[in-house]
Amino acid sequence: MKELVVNLNTGLHGDLAVPGDKSISHRSVILSSISEGTSHIHHFLASDDCISTINAFREMGVNIDLDGDELTVEGVGLHGLKAPQTKLDMGNSGTTTRLLSGLLAAQKFTTNLIGDDSLSKRPMKRVSEPLSMMGASIETTDGHLPMTINPGHIKAVKYELPMASAQVKSAIILAALSADEDSVIIEPQVTRDHTETMLNQFGNNVIERAGNEITVHHQPKLTAQDFNVPGDISSAAFFLVAATLVPKSHIVLKNVGINPTRTGILDVLIQMGANIKLLNQTNGSEPTADIEVTYTPELKPIDVTEESIPLMIDELPLVALLASRADGHSTITGAEELRFKETDRIKTVVEELRKIGIHIEELPDGFSIDGSNDWQVVDSSLDSHGDHRIGMTLAVAALLLDVDVQLKGEDAISISYPQFFDHLQHLSD
Ligand code: S3P
């Protein structure tokens, strides 16, 4: 249980470089492991989830050195992984599990995947079904982990994703690399495209995109790379929202990834009238910017609908919090995918925000929220439910309360942002 006390007399202020992007960090380990040569990755996110990915590849014979946020990976090539001697422990990481399922489906050895309680409740049929269509042999435990992946001969596929999921898309892409011909994947809505972007960096023209249709060229030659992981916009989002809501705040978040498949939170903040400026933009394959945020006393309500959900999927608990402070009624709909995250985030957000007096209702696919600046705390004992993003959202909400609150399960925050409380302290000193 952590006492959430931050002295905010002068608001949040100063500069901060947020840690490396989680999605990109996972993919950097995966793609450098299956490429030829030694890759050097800078500003890697050494959080619990990404360590699960590193450990899995170490178990499969890849030499990986992690020193602070510098990662060195001696790639073994597309067909060079070795049978692990133990079960692969995915920890809490859905990204590790789903992306690795695709890669492991094409190996000549059997792997057993296990995970923690939360991960073992999350749906895996969404990957085992399409991979089985491609010739994989996967046994799940009633659609969940533990999962056994047997050696398979992967055939090319044309697959239309039934849900907008970058993890499922990436699993199929990674399997398709080892197929006998080129594969085609169709997304219902565009989701984060880091796998595609990074694959084209490691190999020539591996992925081609035309609208929502992605072609994966089979058996590419992947070569080691040297690159920087941009700051994680999903981590920056906690401070973007905090500085918007906490009086007198003025901060600059440095070198944040602004890939357009991830910037839904910026669109929401701007639509609600927040004072946000992008500075020093770069235009590489993963564009970045410094983001300047100033306290905004009045926010407009917002209606977030299905099309934009994938662009801010992990930030929706924060969007709900922003809407709770807006001047009027907001809705978030088309977000049923939130029910399949580390917790059922529709349920946990509603349960926890109601404790601090926020008027929020659960919808089957999202939230209905009446904004107010006058929250009457009914229960000051908050709970992350073991979900890192719920824990951090509640820590931001606590900045707006004039009563002391406690957070249970704060250790979950190290899943994606081990330095979160230090960084909050840094911005409030
Ligand atoms: C991720 C994709 C998203 C996101 C998760 C990371 C990724 O999950 O919520 O935090 O790195 O591909 P889904 O693909 O299940 O939407």
End-of-domain residue from the set 218, 251, 280: 218
The whole-number pLDDT of residue 4 equals: 87
- Pairing status of strand 213-216 against strand 207-210: antiparallel
Q: Is 23 labelled a binding residue?
A: yes
Alpha carbon distance 96, 51 (integer Å): 10
Query: Do 203 and 80 reside in the same domain of the chain?
Result: yes
Contact 316, 353 (CB under 8 A): no
Q: Is 381 labelled a binding residue?
A: no
Q: Reply yes or no on whether the pLDDT at 256 is more than 80.
A: yes
Query: Do 169 and 244 reside in the same domain of the chain?
Result: no
Both tokens of 339, joined, read: 């029910």
* Residue numbers annotated as active site: 314
Identify the residue whose C-alpha is closest to ligand 1 atom 9.
314
The whole-number pLDDT of residue 320 equals: 98
Query: Do 116 and 163 reside in the same domain of the chain?
Result: yes
Alpha carbon distance 29, 71 (integer Å): 9
**Cα 83 to the chain's mean position, in Å?**
28
Helix H or strand E segment including 168? helix 166-176
The confidence band for 116, taking pLDDT boundaries of 50, 70 and 90, is very high
Asked whether residue 251 is domain-assigned, the answer is: yes
Q: What is the CATH number of the domain that holds 72?
A: 3.65.10.10
Query: Do 131 and 213 reside in the same domain of the chain?
Result: yes
Asked whether residue 402 is domain-assigned, the answer is: yes
Identify the residue whose C-alpha is closest to ligand 1 atom 16.
165
- Residue-wise pLDDT tens digits, 291-321: 999 999 999 999 999 999 999 999 999 999 9
Asked whether residue 223 is domain-assigned, the answer is: no
The whole-number pLDDT of residue 339 equals: 98
Q: Is 345 labelled a binding residue?
A: yes
Q: Is the Cβ atom of 166 under 6 angstroms away from ligand 1? A: yes
Query: Do 50 and 166 reside in the same domain of the chain?
Result: yes
Q: Is the Cβ atom of 195 under 6 angstroms away from ligand 1? A: no
Asked whether residue 78 is domain-assigned, the answer is: yes
For residue 102, the SS3 value is: helix
Q: Is the Cβ atom of 335 under 6 angstroms away from ligand 1? A: no
The whole-number pLDDT of residue 90 equals: 98
Q: Is the Cβ atom of 157 under 6 angstroms away from ligand 1? A: no
Alpha carbon distance 78, 331 (integer Å): 45
Query: Do 46 and 56 reside in the same domain of the chain?
Result: yes
Q: Helices 194-202 and 22-33: crossing angle, nearest 10°?
A: 30
Asked whether residue 163 is domain-assigned, the answer is: yes
Query: Do 77 and 31 reside in the same domain of the chain?
Result: yes
Q: Is the Cβ atom of 165 under 6 angstroms away from ligand 1? A: yes
End-of-domain residue from the set 218, 253, 275: 218
Q: Which ligand 1 atom is the nearest neighbour of the CA of 164? A: 16
Ligand 1 centroid distance, CA of 219 (Å): 25
Q: Which ligand 1 atom is the nearest neighbour of the CA of 168? A: 14
Query: Do 54 and 14 reside in the same domain of the chain?
Result: no
Query: Do 125 and 234 reside in the same domain of the chain?
Result: no
Edge-to-edge, what's the strand order for the sheet holding 36-42?
A: 63-67, 70-76, 36-42, 226-228
Query: Do 98 and 187 reside in the same domain of the chain?
Result: yes
End-of-domain residue from the set 166, 197, 218: 218
- Mean pLDDT for the stretch of residues 277-290: 96
Contact 147, 141 (CB under 8 A): yes
- Residue-wise pLDDT tens digits, 234-252: 999 999 999 999 999 999 9
Asked whether residue 68 is domain-assigned, the answer is: yes
Q: What are phi and psi of 406, to 5 degrees?
A: -115, 145
Q: Is 341 labelled a binding residue?
A: yes
Edge-to-edge, what's the strand order for the sheet holding 250-257?
A: 13-17, 250-257, 288-294, 275-282
The whole-number pLDDT of residue 154 equals: 97
Residues 6+ away with beta carbon under 8 Å from 294: 243, 249, 250, 275
Residue among 85, 95, 135 nearest 115 (CA)? 95
Asked whether residue 224 is domain-assigned, the answer is: no
- Residue-wise pLDDT tens digits, 77-102: 999 999 999 999 999 999 999 999 99
Structural domain including 49 reads 22-218
Alpha carbon distance 147, 65 (integer Å): 28
Averaged pLDDT of the chain: 97
Domain count, the chain: 2
- Residue-wise pLDDT tens digits, 2-22: 988 777 878 999 999 999 999
The whole-number pLDDT of residue 282 equals: 97
Task: Give the CB-side neighbour count of residue 177, counting CA atoms within 13 A.
Answer: 34
Q: Is the Cβ atom of 43 under 6 angstroms away from ligand 1? A: no
The confidence band for 67, taking pLDDT boundaries of 50, 70 and 90, is very high
**Cα 363 to the chain's mean position, in Å?**
23
- Residue-wise pLDDT tens digits, 121-144: 999 999 999 999 999 999 999 999
Query: Do 179 and 238 reside in the same domain of the chain?
Result: no
Query: Do 193 and 287 reside in the same domain of the chain?
Result: no
Contact 290, 255 (CB under 8 A): yes
- Mean pLDDT for the stretch of residues 250-258: 98
Asked whether residue 225 is domain-assigned, the answer is: no
Ligand 1 centroid distance, CA of 249 (Å): 30
